[in-house]
Amino acid sequence: MSARGEAWVARTIAALGILASSAAPALAACPMELSVYGERDGVAEINFTPTLNRAVVTNTFRMLIEGDVVLDGIVMWTEAVPRPNGMLMYKCPQGDVTGAELAICTVWQGVIYTSDDKGNIELLPAEGADAPAKLIFPDLARSLQRSAAFDADELSKVPWDVFALKGCQE
């Protein structure tokens, strides 16, 4: 093939590539309150849900471990040094709960960090913001190993501390 023919083929392939990429649907951003995350070992999944205008709670979620253990999660921002303080609870009593009762059923507590695909670290956003690429729950596995859920033999595995965005609820 001549150089002129090769150039024509290269231009045609490039044009087809542009057409194909423009025809592909763009992925829409997922709001934080509808995001779904999973961790690398497939042990756990996190499903965020709308908080329904709670005064202090900025995010609510559930962590499903091994498919059948459910941990309820909330996030409240601290005031002195603004941080998203997350709490995971296991089989907490319903209704008015005392601080002592809440302490007994809390299996993890800490700041929830996020990371984008470039490794930039931020704090968990409140509802309405776009869901970040990754969530980081520092020391989650160790906390769960020391929890009532692990002691009750309901957990045989614990998740890794990092969860990646895997979808958006409808």
Residue 80 contacts residue 88 (beta carbons within 8 Å): no
Answer yes or no: is pLDDT of 21 > 70.
Answer: no
Residue 149 contacts residue 155 (beta carbons within 8 Å): yes
Structure tokens given for 81:
């040094």
Tens of pLDDT, residue by residue over 55-99, are: 789 999 999 998 788 999 999 999 889 999 999 999 888 878 788
* pTM as predicted: 0.79
| pLDDT > 90 in the chain, percent | 56
Chain-centre distance for alpha carbon 24: 26
Distance in angstroms (rounded) separating the CA atoms of residues 33 and 51: 8
Tens of pLDDT, residue by residue over 27-56, are: 468 999 999 999 999 999 999 999 987 778
Tens of pLDDT, residue by residue over 106-164, are: 999 999 999 999 999 999 999 999 999 999 999 999 999 888 777 666 777 889 999 99
**Where do the structural domains in the chain lie, given as residue ranges?**
32-168
Structure tokens given for 58:
């900025």
Q: What pLDDT score does 30 carry?
A: 96
Q: What pLDDT score does 8 carry?
A: 39
Q: What pLDDT score does 7 carry?
A: 44
Distance in angstroms (rounded) separating the CA atoms of residues 79 and 158: 31
Angle made by CA atoms 93, 97, 102, in degrees to the nearest 5? 80
88-111 as b/e, with b when 16 or more CB fall inside 10 Å? bbbebeeeeeeeeeeebbbbbebb
Distance in angstroms (rounded) separating the CA atoms of residues 144 and 38: 17
Mean pLDDT taken over the chain: 83
